[in-house]
Structure formats: C-alpha cells, structure tokens
Amino acid sequence: MPNPLGPVWNGHRTSMDAFGVVRRALALDAMVRAQVLQGGQFAAASDQQILDLLDAAQDEVDDQAVLFLYATFEARLREHIVAQSGLLTGATQPSAQFGQNLHGWFNDLCRDARMDKVLDLFVPSVNQVLIAQVGSIRKYRHWLAHGRRGLAVPSVTPLFAYRTLTSFLQLCNLT
C-alpha cells in the first residue's frame, strides 16, 4: 500500500525546488531574466520585491504542506475506521435491519468523531509519545487554519510532519 502522504510531500519538495529556480533567475543578465520572468507578477517587480514575495510564499507553502499532510493523514485513519463498519452488519438482534442501522450510525460517528479520540483507538500499536506528537501537529494545523490567532503554538516543519505522520501510519500498517 503506497504512503498516502507521498504525493503531498513530493509536491512540497517540487515547490521548494521551483522557488530556488526563480531565485537563481534573478542573477541572469537583464534580457534573459526578463524572458524568464515574463507574464507574471515578477515581470515588473524589483529583485527585493521578488525576494520578499518568495520568502513569504516559502513559509506559506511550508504551512500549507503541513495542512495537507495532516488532512491526508486524518482521511486515511477515518477511512480505515469506516472500513471496519462492515463487521457490524452481522448484528441481527432484534432484527436484520438493526445491523444495517448500526452500520450507518457507526459511519456517521466516524465522520464526526474528534481526531484526538480517533488517535486513541490506535493504542497500543502507537505509543503515547507519538500520539502526543501527532496531536501537536493537529494543534498547529488548527492554529494555521484559524488564521494564526494568538501566540504561536509549537510548530512543525513539513519534513518532521511527514516523518511523524508516516511513522504513525506505518506502525498501524496503513501505508
């Protein structure tokens, strides 16, 4: 089973490489530089303006990568839990319909359950330290998603988010 976080991580690495290409394009001679940068917001901007845009965008893309990594991780866990709901259809008391109802009810629960409760389901395959680290990525994701209000919560780089979330999935045989 491929790591569902792989495409997000690879996309982030490609974006970082692309930032590097634009930065190096600024050192080209004027004519080539103009050709390379034509057609976008960089065309009429000074070097410093472009560098400021790139610095800000690079931090933004880092945070977006963490958001997407966590969203993909969350989807993978919920998908796995929902897949277990088929086990409930065998419940036939008081009627065969009960099992079907239970199946639907459980699916709804899975979609609505808080992620901290979802993570706890994977103990002891995953220990409390890793659960705390994943919980902290979730907290950082919330801080970003809600507009970075208040003081900064503990942060996570894309590489460390990828590594931590991948470890969790591997321990649960979900990659």
Helical packing angle, 128-145 and 47-83, nearest 10° = 130
Backbone φ and ψ for 121, nearest 5 degrees, come out as -60, -25
Task: Name the residue nearer to another protein (CB basis): 2 or 124.
Answer: 124
Count of residues engaged in binding another protein, rule: CB under 8 A: 40
Burial degree of 44 (CB within 10 A; 0-12, 13-18, 19+)? exposed
User: CB of 106: closest distance to another protein in angstroms?
Assistant: 26
> Can residue 33 be called a binding residue for another protein (CB under 8 A)?
no
Backbone φ and ψ for 77, nearest 5 degrees, come out as -65, -45
Question: Could you give the string, one character per residue 114-153, with x where binding to another protein holds by CB under 8 A and - elsewhere?
Answer: ----------xxxxxxx-xx--xx--x---------xxxx
Report how far Cα 74 is from the mean position of its chain's Cα atoms: 8
> Can residue 20 be called a binding residue for another protein (CB under 8 A)?
yes
> Distance between CA atoms of 56 and 54, rounded to whole angstroms?
5
> Distance between CA atoms of 63 and 72, rounded to whole angstroms?
14
Question: Which residue has tokens 């409390």?
Answer: 128
Position among 78, 171, 172, 175 found at the interface with another protein (CB under 8 A): 171
Q: 94: cis peptide before it, omega within 30°?
A: yes
> Can residue 156 be called a binding residue for another protein (CB under 8 A)?
yes
Task: Name the residue nearer to another protein (CB basis): 44 or 152.
Answer: 152
Task: Name the residue nearer to another protein (CB basis): 23 or 103.
Answer: 23
Question: Could you give the string, one character per residue 66-105, with x where binding to another protein holds by CB under 8 A and - elsewhere?
Answer: ----------------------------------------
Residues found near another protein in the complex (CB under 8 A): 13, 16, 19-20, 23-24, 26, 47, 51, 55, 58, 124-130, 132-133, 136-137, 140, 150-164, 167, 171
